[in-house]
Structure formats: structure tokens, C-alpha cells
Amino acid sequence: MSTKKIQYLSKYIALSEEGLVPRLECPMDQGLLMPNIDLNDTIYLYCLSCSYKTTIGSSRYDSIKKLVKSRSSD
């Protein structure tokens, strides 16, 4: 299940690079937030430049998944 969530987040980031959805930006330095999974299968976003980290809640994930499904042709 977590792998599928990472795939949706990666697809969302790709769509944001095309300007089709808002970017997931770091609140500290407006860098791009990247998805990852910790050892407990918790999905989080992190900033490469400043090490900011935040977990993805179910409502935020659901809204991202909905946007990906509405914008992608897959």
C-alpha cells in the first residue's frame, strides 16, 4: 500500500513540474518537497536543501490522489 502512495506522490510531483497542479513546497525555503517512507511505513515529505520533514495525513493524501486521478491520462 505504501509503495502505491509513493507512486501517487511521485506522479503528483511530475504533474506539478508541468504546471498542472500546485507544487509541494517547503514552508522554510520554498524548495521542492520529495516523498519517502520511513521504517514504520509512514509516508513523509522532506526538503533536500534544509532537511524540513512533514508527514502526509490521510486527508492530504486523498486530495493529492484525487488531483492525480483527475489530471492524469493513466
pLDDT of residue 1: 58
Tens digit of pLDDT at every position of the chain (74 positions): 578 889 999 999 999 999 999 999 999 999 999 999 888 888 999 999 998 999 998 899 999 999 999 987 65
Q: How many domains does the chain have?
A: 1
Q: Which domain holds residue 64?
A: 2-71
Under DSSP, the state recorded for 57 is: P
Helices 2-17 and 58-71: crossing angle in degrees, nearest 10, is 60
With contact defined as beta carbons under 8 Å apart, do 6 and 65 qualify?
A: no
Strand-pair partners of 54 = 45
pLDDT of residue 41: 85
